[in-house]
Amino acid sequence: MSEKKCKFCEEHKHRNEEEVKDLMKRLNRIEGQIRGIKRMVEEDAYCIDIINQVSAAGCALDSFTKVILATHIKTCVAEDVKDGSEEKLDELVKTLQKLMK
């Protein structure tokens, strides 16, 4: 397991190779969808076709978010609560409030 550090803060997350591979696969698929949408705009595709592709990309991003969120709850938040802290739990509540706007 390698340690990934956030360049903006002191937080870090340990992810195993399989988890990183799955996340990167999802992100590559989303990136491909976005490139496809860009190409559709450049080629003057029909509006509804573009909207359908944007919707699919949004669903893929939502799915990616759910995977990251589930992992965060099962690991980071659970470990923090077991250690007697509620910092990660409070952070999660704030994040969920932002997501649900």
Domains of the chain and any CATH numbers:
13-99 (1.20.58.1000)
Number of H helices, E strands in the chain: 4, 2
What pLDDT is recorded for position 10?
Answer: 55
CA dihedral sign, ordered 29, 34, 37, 43: negative
What pLDDT is recorded for position 14?
Answer: 82
Give the ranges where 9-101 is alpha helix by DSSP (H): 17-42, 47-72, 78-82, 87-99
Let me know how long the chain is.
Answer: 101
How far apart are alpha carbons 98 and 89 in whole angstroms?
14
pLDDT truncated to tens, each residue of the chain (101 aa)? Answer: 455 544 434 577 788 999 999 999 999 999 999 999 999 999 999 999 999 999 999 999 999 999 999 999 999 999 999 999 999 999 999 999 999 98
DSSP helix/strand/coil, 69: helix
Among residues 63, 74, 52, 53, the alpha carbon closest in space to that of 27 is found at 63
What pLDDT is recorded for position 101?
Answer: 87
pTM for this prediction: 0.81
